[in-house]
Structure 1
């Protein structure tokens, strides 16, 4: 099948227990996707700093995250870098929750106290980020 799909611009690749189709990306598309991955790395870093157990099944409230931002300097720094257009931490948390909800990674569990539940889809994002390997460019180094 590889040769057939290659002829129409797709590459059949094996994943972690699954197969997927990929295409050669233009440099602009690749850069856009890298920016999106960078954004999700920042989100995960912020959320894991908020609570190391943040993952599928975890319950949280926006208000609790806001309180933690006020108490934790590292979390405060990460929050200030998440969204450049948001100045108040409440706005940052609101936008982050909206992004997670839009991506299908969380859902509102209890609307009375605004408790959210982290869904299994969040684990997919964690695995994707864990798979990222950054290799140092050694082409400029002088061989020994």
Structure 2
């Protein structure tokens, strides 16, 4: 396949804010990831010319670009959204992360007996816009899928696999450093 076709496919995915992950089961994603691995510098140069910066994450690629400062508020709102979503899944299972295979029904079945998880899901209803717990959990998975952090690996059981791009969210959260206020003992 000519380089232009690869670049076009890469642009169509990454320009929407999605990721190309190495552990995707999608054959096209795998092929594009391999192409990016082999031609990274040439592809970076190509996209730099139009103001998109190809970034290599932990076994994934994504776009970054310079933005005006007035987008800071929207970036903070998105970051808070992702912190809440990540907190929900990590509250369900601290080991939830890259490679996890899970169904929304597994999480939904725990909500009835886990008040902490139920409270966190209630806070997420502003994002999911769903009233029922199982519908909210399904919507969270759809959000993760749409953003390229999970993909369906079994349509029958609705089993999702967490992709390498999910580590981007984890690294985002870990990069936030909030200093504890110091007390003056005098």
Q: TM-score range by the shorter chain?
A: 0.7 to 0.9
Q: Distance in 1 between matches of 2:80 and 2:157?
A: 32
CA RMSD after TM alignment:
2.9
Offset at residue 91 of structure 1 (A): 1.7
Of 166, 172, 177, 1:122 maps to: 166
Corresponding residue to 2:142 among 92, 95, 98: 98
> Hey, what's the Cα distance between the residues in 2 that align with 1:24 and 1:36?
15
Count of aligned positions: 125
Mapped pair 1:49 → 2:81: no
Task: Give 1:110's aligned residue.
Answer: 154
Gap regions ≥5 residues in structure 2: 1-50
For normalisation by structure 1, the TM-score amounts to 0.76
Per the alignment, in what secondary structure is the counterpart of residue 57 of structure 1? coil
Structure 2 distance, partners of 1:130, 1:112, is 35
Q: Deviations over 1:65-119 (max 9, x none)?
A: 1011111100000000012232111121111011100111101011111111100
Unaligned runs of 5+ in 1: 1-9, 139-143
CA 1:137–1:25: 2 relative to 1, 3 Å: farther
The equivalent residue for 1:75 is 117
Q: CA deviation at 1:137?
A: 8.7
1:136 Cα deviation (Å)? 6.8
3-state SS, counterpart of residue 129 of structure 1: helix
Q: Relative contact order, CA 8 A, sep 6+: which one is greater?
A: 2
